[in-house]
């Protein structure tokens, strides 16, 4: 009698959801080759192909579509049953998957994620950073972390800190013998470090005056898509940069960078941990939410 594993069904659903073996493998925490071998073995047991595979694309076969449609509800019910059992654990364990973006990950790593792992060493955290906003439920994440205004309305949200700010900065070496920008439009006379968004568009620097938004399309010698690279360029005096304040706070305090246009960058929405409502969440899920609420309370009392 052939036996089938729940992980194999999870693998089929992940590939169907993501449309890619590579992306599904990352979600599942396994190598692409291991995932491909698992699917090939399952297809061999079933005697049908579930996926059409080429070097450029992956799609479900007709049998694959039928399999996914019929298996999905059952797999969902099994995972809910497992969650119900795990919710009774005295010692939280298992894996929590969190989706966020790089800057937010830096901000929550020490006060939330690392603190949680110290308190609950039997739990593992899978922290995925990406620029695009994803559907955390469809993509198999337990939690998301985004700016408050980006949190879907059907999610439960916990603010993780005070409102955040942007910072316009330059190295002292760059500012020598140069006139400082007094208003955002003055930036057009300066080389700036441009940032490309995940969708390929260039980021427009955001400012505010008397409650009115002001956007500036800057120009400069280099375009990057990662804040740490942009910070290195600014520290080396290549031009002016625009960052989340948390990314350059230490540099400003140490005098490595000088803040500009401070009055034009008022506070913006805080970061939020968000998640869907769950009837019987695992113990690890519950204690992570408890710690997030503890962090939220402590930030409000400061």
Beta bridge partners of 126: 97
Burial class (CB in 10 A: 0-12, 13-18, 19+), 22: middle
195/243 Cα distance (integer angstroms): 10
- Domain spanning 166-264: CATH 3.40.190.290: yes
DSSP line for 255-268:
TSSEEESGGG---B
Question: What strands, in cross-sheet order, belong to the sheet with 271-275?
Answer: 123-129, 94-100, 143-147, 271-275, 156-159
Contact status, residue 51 vs residue 14, Cβ threshold 8 Å:
no
Listed in order, strand segments (DSSP E) in the chain are: 51-53, 58-60, 94-100, 123-129, 143-147, 156-159, 166-170, 193-195, 205-209, 212-216, 222-224, 241-244, 258-260, 271-275
This prediction has a pTM of 0.68
Helix-helix angle 21-28:6-18, to 10 degrees: 130
| pLDDT for 30 | 84
Contact status, residue 211 vs residue 198, Cβ threshold 8 Å:
no
- Local structure of 48: helix, strand or coil: coil
| pLDDT for 244 | 92
Tokens, residue 252? 């400003």
Neighbours of 283 (CB within 10 A): 19
Domain(s) labelled CATH 3.40.190.290 in the chain stretch across 166-264
Candidates 232, 280, 259; CA nearest to 85 is 280
What φ, ψ does residue 97 adopt, rounded to 5°? -105, 130
Q: Could you say which of 3.40.50.1700, 3.30.110.70, 3.40.190.10, 1.10.8.50 is the CATH number of the domain covering 94-161+269-301?
A: 3.40.190.10
Question: Tokens 């071998």 sit at which residue?
Answer: 37
| pLDDT for 165 | 93
Mean pLDDT of the chain: 90
Domain(s) labelled CATH 3.40.190.10 in the chain stretch across 94-161+269-301
143/158 Cα distance (integer angstroms): 11
Question: Hey, what's the torsion of the CAs at 273, 278, 281, 287, to 10 degrees?
Answer: 30
Q: Work out the angle at residue 175's Cα, subtended by the Cα atoms of residues 171 and 177, and round it to the nearest 5 degrees.
A: 150
- Taking only the tens of pLDDT, the chain with its 302 residues reads 677 888 889 889 989 988 888 888 887 888 888 898 999 999 889 999 999 988 778 899 999 999 999 999 988 888 878 777 766 767 898 999 999 988 899 899 999 999 999 999 999 999 998 888 889 988 889 999 999 989 999 999 999 988 899 999 999 999 999 999 999 999 999 999 999 988 888 999 999 987 789 999 999 999 998 888 999 999 999 999 999 998 999 999 999 999 999 999 988 889 999 999 887 888 899 999 999 999 888 876 55
| pLDDT for 227 | 87
| pLDDT for 4 | 83
Domain(s) labelled CATH 1.10.10.10 in the chain stretch across 6-86
Beta bridge partners of 192: 240
Burial class (CB in 10 A: 0-12, 13-18, 19+), 118: exposed
- Domain spanning 6-86: CATH 3.40.630.30: no
Contact status, residue 21 vs residue 12, Cβ threshold 8 Å:
no
């Amino acid at each position: 009698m052939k036996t089938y594993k729940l992980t194999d069904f999870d693998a089929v659903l992940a590939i169907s959801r993501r449309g890619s073996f590579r992306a599904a493998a990352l979600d599942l925490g396994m190598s692409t080759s291991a995932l491909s071998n698992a699917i090939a073995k399952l297809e061999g047991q079933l005697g049908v192909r579930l996926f059409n595979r080429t070097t450029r694309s992956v799609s479900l076969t007709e049998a694959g579509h039928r399999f996914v449609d019929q298996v999905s509800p059952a797999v969902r019910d099994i995972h809910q049953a497992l969650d119900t059992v795990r919710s009774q654990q005295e010692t939280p364990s298992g894996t929590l998957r969190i989706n966020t973006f790089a800057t937010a990950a830096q901000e929550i790593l020490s006060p939330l994620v690392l603190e949680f792992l110290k308190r609950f060493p039997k739990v593992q955290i899978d922290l995925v950073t990406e620029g695009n906003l994803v559907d955390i439920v469809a993509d198999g994440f337990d939690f998301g972390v985004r700016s408050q205004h980006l949190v879907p309305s059907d999610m439960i949200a916990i603010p993780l800190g005070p409102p955040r700010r942007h910072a316009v900065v330059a190295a002292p070496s760059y500012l020598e013998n140069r006139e400082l920008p007094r208003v955002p439009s003055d930036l057009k006379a300066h080389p700036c470090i441009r940032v490309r968004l995940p969708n390929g568009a260039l980021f427009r620097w955001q400012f505010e005056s008397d409650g009115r938004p002001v956007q500036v399309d800057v120009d400069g010698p280099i375009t990057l898509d990662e804040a740490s690279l942009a910070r290195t360029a600014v520290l080396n005096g290549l031009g002016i940069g625009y960052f989340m304040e948390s990314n350059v706070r230490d540099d400003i305090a140490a005098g490595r960078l000088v803040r500009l246009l401070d009055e034009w960058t008022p506070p913006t929405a805080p970061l939020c941990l968000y998640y869907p409502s769950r009837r019987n969440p695992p113990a690890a899920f519950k204690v992570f939410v408890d710690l997030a609420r503890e962090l939220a309370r402590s930030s409000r009392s400061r």
